[in-house]
Amino acid sequence: MKPTHFTKLLSSLAVTLALVACKEEPRTVPSAATQTNSPAAIPAPRPPLTPTTSAAHAAHIVLVSLDGGRPDFLQQAQMPTLHAMAREGATTWAARSIVPPLTLPAHSSMLSGLAPEVHQVYWNMWIPAFGPLRFPTVFMLAKSNGLSAAMFSAKDKLGYLFPPGSADVISYPVPDPRDYYGTNVFSAGKVAEQAVKYFTQHRPRLLFVHLSDGDIAGHYYGWPSPEQYAAFAECDIALQTLRTGIAQVGVTNLIFLITADHGGAGLSHGVDRPEDMTIPWIAWGSGVKRGHSLTTPISLPDTAATIAWLLGFKLPPNTIGQPVREAFE
């Protein structure tokens, strides 16, 4: 199946499975300082902090989360952009998620550096009564340190991790109160286009891009399936859109960090087994070792610690994440 077939299939499923909200405009939460939904009113990025570590001190970091990205299936899929970045950068296909390996708990650890026992996010659906994450994420800390940040997610439930003021722009599908299981999603292509448009105008220091096509296909058709391979190919096209669009802006000292929240097997994920727990971790860009196979054991909370290290600030002492220094020159 060609990648475009999956896009058509996802559109059809949107009708039959009440995913019509995917066609709506994203929910955009402005920075508390701007109090407006107009991107043009968002302040220009502030000067970077004085570095406090010996890290690469990236001017811009793009964190890409491939939802459901089980490494062996990503390697088999038609993903030339991802495979090239893995070859050219510092890579492991054997990083580890957290228990439980579910989207919302895993992203909570990915962005905070905390263990699930600390952040206590064990639910995985849109439940407004539970409120936002009660611990700081690397995005909240970046903003409090005067750095610009933006978030573009394919799933509404990741809005839990971005309360107002945690980023200059917070974009995800408008939640549907009737959609208890959070099937309201954007396609990878739409998320990438939104992210590139914003980056072109505002050049945030920290950008989060969440692509969910592979996870959705896995739940409907299986890990793996022809439909999932096609969905991963769509994510690769979105990744190429990001790379090309950001390159055209002409920023220097740019780093991509590419990982996943979990893998999967059959039609599900969520237990402590290699199929669910094994994820990729790829660093690519300025200051990254070229063609390097990472040997340091890497877990999902290390992503937040690496971002904080690169941007020159520290995470709270109760975090378990450690910077992946091996990836950098």
282 vs 5: CA distance, rounded Å: 28
**Residue-wise pLDDT tens for the chain (329 aa)?**
444 444 444 444 433 333 333 333 344 444 332 222 222 222 233 233 333 333 446 799 999 999 999 999 999 999 999 999 999 999 999 999 999 999 999 999 999 999 999 999 999 988 888 889 999 999 999 999 999 999 999 999 999 999 999 999 999 998 766 665 556 789 999 999 999 999 999 999 999 999 999 999 999 999 999 999 999 999 999 999 999 999 999 998 999 999 999 999 999 999 999 999 999 999 999 999 999 999 999 999 999 999 999 999 999 999 999 999 999 99
180 vs 18: CA distance, rounded Å: 11
Which residues, at least 6 apart from 204, have a Cβ–Cβ distance to it below 8 Å? 45, 60, 148, 149, 150, 168, 198
Q: Which of 101, 110, 128 minimizes the C-alpha distance to 182? A: 128
Determine, yes or no, domain membership for 41.
no
**Average model confidence (pLDDT) across the chain:** 85
Q: Which of 55, 120, 86 minimizes the C-alpha distance to 260? A: 86
Which residues, at least 6 apart from 147, have a Cβ–Cβ distance to it below 8 Å? 45, 46, 48, 49, 205, 206, 311
Backbone region of residue 203 per phi and psi (left: phi > 0; alpha: psi in -120 to 50; beta: other values): left
Task: Report the half-sphere exposure of 120 (CA within 13 A, side-chain side).
Answer: 6
E strands within 1-111?
27-30, 60-66, 90-96
CATH no. for residue 186? Answer: 3.40.720.10
Determine, yes or no, domain membership for 19.
yes
Q: Are 205 and 253 in contact (CB under 8 A)?
A: no
Determine, yes or no, domain membership for 109.
yes
DSSP secondary-structure letter at 185?
Answer: B
Backbone region of residue 158 per phi and psi (left: phi > 0; alpha: psi in -120 to 50; beta: other values): alpha
Q: Cβ atoms within 10 A of the Cβ of 165, count? A: 16
Sheet holding 169-172, edge to edge: 27-30, 169-172, 149-152, 206-211, 60-66, 254-259, 278-285, 90-96, 292-293
Determine, yes or no, domain membership for 42.
no
Strand partners, 223: 266
pLDDT for the residue numbered 30: 40
- Domain tally for the chain? 1
254 vs 57: CA distance, rounded Å: 10
Determine, yes or no, domain membership for 156.
yes
pLDDT for the residue numbered 11: 41
Paired tokens of 230: 């096609």
Determine, yes or no, domain membership for 43.
no
Determine, yes or no, domain membership for 31.
yes
- Supply the range of the domain harboring residue 142: 3-36+48-327
Would you call 65 helix, strand, or coil by DSSP?
A: strand
23 vs 120: CA distance, rounded Å: 32
Determine, yes or no, domain membership for 23.
yes
Q: Are 304 and 137 in contact (CB under 8 A)?
A: yes
Q: Which of 99, 54, 157, 38 minimizes the C-alpha distance to 276? A: 99
Q: Which of 165, 167, 232 minimizes the C-alpha distance to 195? A: 167
